[in-house]
Structures are given as structure tokens and as C-alpha cells.
Amino acid sequence: MKKKEEEVEDANQTKKQIKDEKDCNSFKCYNCDKVGHLAKDCQIEKKVEETTNLTLEAEANEGFLLMAQNEINTNDNVWYLDSEASNHMCGHKHLFKEMRKIEDANVSFGDASKVKVEGKGTICYLQKDGLIGSIQDVYYVPNLKTNILSLGQLT
């Protein structure tokens, strides 16, 4: 009787091995993209993932801005809140209510470029509640494509 039980157990184990082999044959290797084995069992040399690290350093007193924008959809009424900008900046002269000229002033951007500041003034805007608000001490930076609100200057 014991012999019969052992035969049944052996048969069940063989069925399990066949099932496992069938399941394994449906796996796709992430290393060589072939079916039938896993990447951990792959005989082909393992792919090496390249990693890139980007380190940005800035002096403590300088702001940093990194931005990308589609130039087709520029809107001079849109303002971007920037936690690293040291000053409010606008490139649209017609938005200024009043402005005084500034001589020999520049702003630095994240790509280490410097752009001339030609003025400083106040810009008015319509609030959602219908009242007129104003932003003071805004730099006029000609040809600046985006308007920037300095979070630090607002607080």
C-alpha cells in the first residue's frame, strides 16, 4: 500500500515539474528579450544601465531658475512663482503702471547667463474679486519671455 502512495506522490511531483517548466517557458527575459528563461538565469552578458547624476551648485546670494517653455504659446498675463528668484521680473514694458530707469544692473540665470535690467517699477493686475492689485519693485528685463514672481520677495 505504501508503494502506491509513493507512486501517486511521485506522479504529482512530476506533474508539478512539467507545469513549472511550461510556466517558465512563457517568461520573457528582460536581459536578452528571449522567451523561456528569466534574466537571473540568462547566459548573455548582463545589460549595464547607465546613470546620470546632475549636480547644481549656486552661491548662497544668487537665485537660480531652470525653465522650459514653448515660445508659440507665450502669454504676457501669466506669472510663474519661483522660490529661487531673487526679484520679480517682467519682459513686457506695457504691463508697467510706472517704471524708473536703472543703470548698470543685471540678473543672472541658471545657465550662468546675465541679462540687463533696464528698469524697476509697479505692475497692476485685476484680482478674481474684481479689485485692482499691484506688484511693486518688479524688474523690467527686455525680451524676457516669462513673468516671474519671486516667492522670497512676496514674503
Q: Is 137 helix (H, G, I), strand (E, B) or coil?
A: strand
Of 86, 89, 84, which Cα lies nearest the Cα of 65? 84
125, β-bridge pairs: 133
Q: Is 36 helix (H, G, I), strand (E, B) or coil?
A: coil
User: So where are the chain's domains?
Assistant: 2-41, 71-154
Model pLDDT for residues 80-132, shown as the tens digit of each residue: 999 888 899 999 999 999 999 998 898 988 888 899 999 999 999 888 999 99
Model pLDDT for residues 34-85, shown as the tens digit of each residue: 888 777 788 887 655 555 555 555 444 455 556 655 555 566 788 899 988 8
Tell me how far apart the alpha carbons of residues 127 and 86 are, in angstroms, rounded to a whole number. Answer: 24
- List all residues 6 or more positions away from 74 whose beta carbon is below 8 Å from its beta carbon: 145, 146
